[in-house]
DNA sequence: GGGCATTTGTCAACCGGTTGCCATAAATTG
DNA sequence: CAATTTATGGCAACCGGTTGACAAATGCCC
């Protein structure tokens, strides 16, 4: 089975072609005989530019221009046509428009996991910005799989004007291949030759580490995310650099998966490491870690400080609420959309990497280390 | 400004029509002169059924049939065409297909707030089911406004085969008007004449109330949600009924808004009510309420039990983790999608209301009431 | 008022599949 | 073996809006 076929087979039972070819469209007002009729297209939304042209007494192409090329027709005709359109309750048919032009006023956004709160704000940021500029956002999920991701991306390519990949799992080369076809913007990863939006971790991390140093910590553990995660690598680098600057010792621990569960599992290693402060690849790990440590009787932050990354929804539900390095995820989403818009409507293509700032959100899970006793 | 215009004005700076009308499509392989070229459509994805027809030596209409009407052409021709399609890396153009048929293999889903975790699972459930059946899900947000919601719905109607409204804010009549045009399914609300998916609150609530009664509680407070919320009314009814059955006293309190903040604000009233157990309209309220009560020195669940609704993401991040009445939101999303699919592909239209079960998720925030002292 | 530059509107081709209708070929039946 | 049904492929119209080319109308200047 070829991939293409995957988009086909479900049409079987669909009602057949109903374009009235030769019959005149007499709107037979009352047809109360058929009790439970199909959702007919006899609504008021089927006016076309041809209908408008007839009402306004002009050529359809003039209607088309009046409605999509401001200034191309005279003010008088414009008004004539707009009135007719209003009267007929005209709505352009997006498919008819997309067919010759190829543009759809639609952007695609692919995320690894719709239920991962990290993406919520990205989605919302992108959606908001897209809507403001009259674009529609289409969402797809890769279920954390590089293959699914690529399939989804390929499928989307046919129907969107541009694509946003949030924390993509696929190869750099695959991304570049997609970008050759249509504008693509990547969030949370840097890919050579493709416009990207990445949070600059340094500011937030150095704030976090300075805060830890000031509170008497000397050894910091970093719980890493997935090995292939670009962002995890950046964060670890940032932690190392900041620790060096503050003369703290930094150790790296691995997690099995970047979830609450993964956080629980890594608690053993954290205790064994002897670190008194932990930064984790993301908030979910931090929350799981904190739950497990507390269950083992440790007091946060008196005995150990925990700092997450992202400031996801729910990060302040914990007791104590989680200190975290916030990435402006909403900004990432809206920034990526803006980049896409620039790429499409802009003059040249200067679109490079857009960096956004991170900051420390100081809450209760980090603080002064109390002397053991 | 008419609404229609809102979809138009942004096209101004877009690159112009590039359909090579008279020129033959000579794929000039190497064009390394233009350094930063526009995203050309010279990719390999521009094969049409006409190209396939040429390669396979048949008529384009035969190609169309081979690819979308299983059995309509002979096995031999079928294979011929499929091979040609594979060779040319053919992908159907969704717009060309949608234009004559009107079907798009797309569903719309409108939620009040993308960042409200209640909707996450609904979205995912719908997305998953839609994808399995080769439908794409398009998401829109109403920003909690009935007007925005209706606008979004109307705009979507043009491009989708069906629409799902999750906890819609608009009038019953508006919903029915939409449903007259195309299949519509409503989640979390019952609208006469429109297929709906609603969690049946009774089982979950009675489990919760029985558990509270068994733990020595006598007076239960219910913190209500927005006055116009259909679901809030159902939950209050359920709580009253269950309390009557268990011979508990039930009082109703109002919240300002169904958020964490709203939960904090209602803490005063809760304490004043004298209730020893609280059910809240949703988990966010429960979490805010718990935070505020704990900040005031109360111990949960020793002095007061708290039970939420929905079991949203993060409900188990709290200390103690939140007891809650879970609605199978994923099921709601996938159920609504299935209903839509049935409506489109099914035989008759028996689609009525689909009820899904709720259940108590017993965690740490509810339990035995300790004698004061 | 004539000549030239602009506006403004029309014509027709086109985007890429879909499907009703028909002709032919093949299969079935009496 | 003729007659009829069925399977198969081709033809052409069509979905609805877009746009290059061109002609008609208008405006402007001397």
The answer to whether A58 CB is within 7 Å of strand C is yes
Whether a cis peptide bond, with omega within 30° of 0, leads into B320 is yes
Residues B178-214 pLDDT 10s = 999 899 999 999 999 999 999 999 999 999 999 999 9
Does residue B81 contact residue B58 with C-beta atoms inside 8 Å?
yes
pLDDT at A17 > cutoff 60: no
Residue nearest to nucleotide D16 (CA to C1'): A96
Residue contact A90–B4, C-beta within 8 A: yes
Phi, psi of A261 (to 5 degrees): -60, -45
State the pLDDT at residue A325: 97
Q: Which of A104, A134, A159 sits opposite B10 (nearest CB)?
A: A134
pLDDT at B16 > cutoff 50: no
Residue contact A14–B103, C-beta within 8 A: yes
| Two structure tokens written together for B209 | 């109330």
Residue nearest to nucleotide D19 (CA to C1'): B17
Sign of CA dihedral B179, B184, B189, B191: positive
| Domain covering A200-328, topology | Rossmann fold (3.40.50)
Does residue B283 contact residue B306 with C-beta atoms inside 8 Å?
no
Phi, psi of B301 (to 5 degrees): -100, 10
pLDDT at A282 > cutoff 70: yes
Give chain C positions with protein CB within 7 A.
7-20
pLDDT at A348 > cutoff 80: no
CA A77/CA A325 separation, integer angstroms: 58
Residue contact B99–A90, C-beta within 8 A: no
**Residue A3 burial (CB count, 10 A):** 12
Residues B157-176 pLDDT 10s = 888 999 999 999 899 999 99
pLDDT at A178 > cutoff 60: yes
| Residues forming a β-bridge with B250 | B220
pLDDT band at B244 (very low <50, low <70, confident <90, very high): very high
The distance of B247 to chain A (nearest Cα, Å) reads 33
Instruction: Name every chain B residue with its beta carbon within 8 A of the beta carbon of A138.
Output: 136, 138-139
Residues 6+ apart with CB under 8 A from B273: B219, B221, B251, B253
pLDDT at A1 > cutoff 80: no
**Residue A48 burial (CB count, 10 A):** 16
pLDDT band at A347 (very low <50, low <70, confident <90, very high): low
Least confident segment among A25-34, A215-224, A274-283: A25-34
End-to-end Cα separation, chain B, in angstroms: 67
Q: Is domain B104-198+330-355 classified as CATH 3.40.50.2300?
A: yes
Instruction: Name every chain B residue with its beta carbon within 8 A of the beta carbon of A137.
Output: 139
State the pLDDT at residue B144: 77
Question: Nearest residue on chain A to B183, judged by CA atoms?
Answer: A39
CA B75, B77, B83 angle in degrees (round to 5)?
100
CA A9/CA B196 separation, integer angstroms: 27
Whether a cis peptide bond, with omega within 30° of 0, leads into B324 is no
Residues A201-254 pLDDT 10s = 999 999 999 999 999 999 999 999 988 889 999 999 999 999 999 999 999 999
E strands, B201-247, in order: 219-223
pLDDT band at B15 (very low <50, low <70, confident <90, very high): very low
* CATH value of B26-92 in 3.40.50.1370, 3.30.70.2660, 3.40.50.300, 1.10.260.40: 1.10.260.40
Residues B79-115 pLDDT 10s = 999 999 999 989 889 999 999 888 898 999 999 887 7
Give DSSP secondary structure letters for B135-171. -EEEEEE-TT-HHHHHHHHHHHHTT-SEEEEES--S-
Does residue B282 contact residue B261 with C-beta atoms inside 8 Å?
no
Q: Number of helices (H) and strands (E), helices first, in chain A? A: 13, 12
CA B335/CA B352 separation, integer angstroms: 12
The answer to whether B139 CB is within 7 Å of strand C is no
The distance of A308 to chain B (nearest Cα, Å) reads 14
Q: Is domain B200-327 classified as CATH 3.40.50.2000?
A: no
Q: To the nearest 10°, the Cα dihedral for A254, A258, A259, A260?
A: 40
pLDDT at A165 > cutoff 80: yes
CA-wise closest residue to A3 among A107, A151, A223, A201: A151
Instruction: Name every chain A residue with its beta carbon within 8 A of the beta carbon of B137.
Output: 139
Reduced to 3 states, what is the DSSP secondary structure of residue A278? strand
The answer to whether A22 CB is within 7 Å of strand D is yes
Residues 6+ apart with CB under 8 A from A167: A111, A112, A118, A119, A187, A188, A189, A229, A231
The answer to whether A5 CB is within 7 Å of strand C is no
C-beta within 7 A of nucleic chain C, residues 12-41 of B: 19-22
Domains B104-198+330-355 and B200-327 agree in fold: yes
Residue contact A159–B345, C-beta within 8 A: no
Q: Is domain A38-92 classified as CATH 3.40.1190.20?
A: no
pLDDT at A56 > cutoff 80: yes
pLDDT at B272 > cutoff 90: yes
State the pLDDT at residue B113: 80
pLDDT at A25 > cutoff 80: no
Cβ-Cβ contacts under 8 Å between A and B: the total is 176
**Residue A252 burial (CB count, 10 A):** 12
Across chain B, mean pLDDT equals: 85
Least confident segment among A162-176, B327-341, B349-363: B349-363
Q: Which CATH class is domain A103-194+330-349?
A: alpha beta
**Which residue in this structure is represented by tokens 């209050």?**
B236
Residue nearest to nucleotide D10 (CA to C1'): B59
Across chain A, mean pLDDT equals: 84
Q: CA dist B332 to A138, A366, B326, B328, B361, Å? A: 21, 39, 12, 6, 18
Residues B293-345 pLDDT 10s = 999 999 999 999 999 999 998 999 998 999 999 999 999 999 999 999 998 88
CA B306, B310, B313 angle in degrees (round to 5)?
95
Instruction: Name every chain B residue with its beta carbon within 8 A of the beta carbon of A135.
Output: 10
CA-wise closest residue to B298 among B317, B323, B270: B270
The answer to whether B84 CB is within 7 Å of strand C is no
pLDDT at A94 > cutoff 60: yes
Tell me the domain boundaries of chain B.
26-92, 104-198+330-355, 200-327
pLDDT band at B373 (very low <50, low <70, confident <90, very high): low
Instruction: Name every chain A residue with its beta carbon within 8 A of the beta carbon of B289.
Output: none
pLDDT at A11 > cutoff 50: no
State the pLDDT at residue B41: 40
Q: Give the mean model confidence (pLDDT) for residues B39-66.
A: 80
């Amino acid at each position: 089975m070829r991939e293409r076929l995957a988009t086909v087979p479900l049409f079987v039972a669909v009602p057949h072609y109903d374009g009235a070819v030769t019959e005149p469209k007499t709107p037979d007002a009352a047809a109360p005989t058929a009790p439970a009729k199909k959702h007919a297209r006899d609504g008021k939304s089927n006016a076309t530019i041809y209908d408008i042209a007839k009402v306004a007494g002009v050529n359809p192409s003039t209607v088309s221009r009046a409605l999509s090329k401001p200034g191309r027709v005279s003010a008088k005709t414009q008004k004539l046509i707009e009135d007719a359109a209003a009267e007929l309750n005209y709505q352009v048919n997006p498919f008819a428009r997309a067919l010759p032009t190829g543009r759809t006023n639609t952007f695609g956004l692919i995320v690894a996991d719709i239920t991962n709160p990290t993406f919520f704000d990205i989605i919302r940021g992108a959606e908001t910005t897209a809507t403001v500029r009259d674009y529609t956002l289409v969402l797809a999920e890769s279920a954390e799989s590089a293959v699914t991701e690529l399939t989804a991306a390929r499928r989307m390519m046919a129907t969107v004007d541009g694509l946003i990949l949030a924390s993509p799992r696929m190869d750099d080369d695959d991304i570049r291949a997609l970008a050759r076809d249509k504008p693509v913007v990547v969030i949370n990863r840097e890919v050579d030759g493709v416009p990207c939006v990445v949070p600059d971790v340094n500011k937030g991390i150095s704030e976090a580490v300075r805060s830890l140093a000031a509170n008497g910590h000397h050894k910091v553990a970093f719980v890493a995310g997935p090995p292939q995660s670009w962002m995890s690598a950046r964060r670890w680098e940032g932690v190392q650099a900041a620790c060096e600057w503050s003369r703290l010792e930094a150790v790296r621990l691995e997690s099995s998966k970047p979830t609450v569960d993964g956080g629980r599992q890594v608690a053993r290693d954290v205790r064994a490491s002897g670190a008194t402060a932990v930064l984790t690849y993301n908030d979910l790990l931090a929350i799981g870690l904190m739950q497990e440590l507390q269950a083992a009787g440790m007091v946060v932050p008196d005995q150990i400080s925990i700092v997450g990354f992202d400031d996801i929804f729910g990060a302040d539900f914990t007791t104590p609420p989680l200190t975290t390095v916030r990435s402006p995820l909403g900004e990432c989403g809206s920034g990526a959309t803006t980049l896409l818009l620039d790429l499409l409507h802009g003059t040249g293509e200067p679109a490079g990497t857009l960096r956004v700032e991170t900051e420390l959100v100081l809450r209760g899970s980090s603080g002064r280390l109390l002397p053991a006793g």
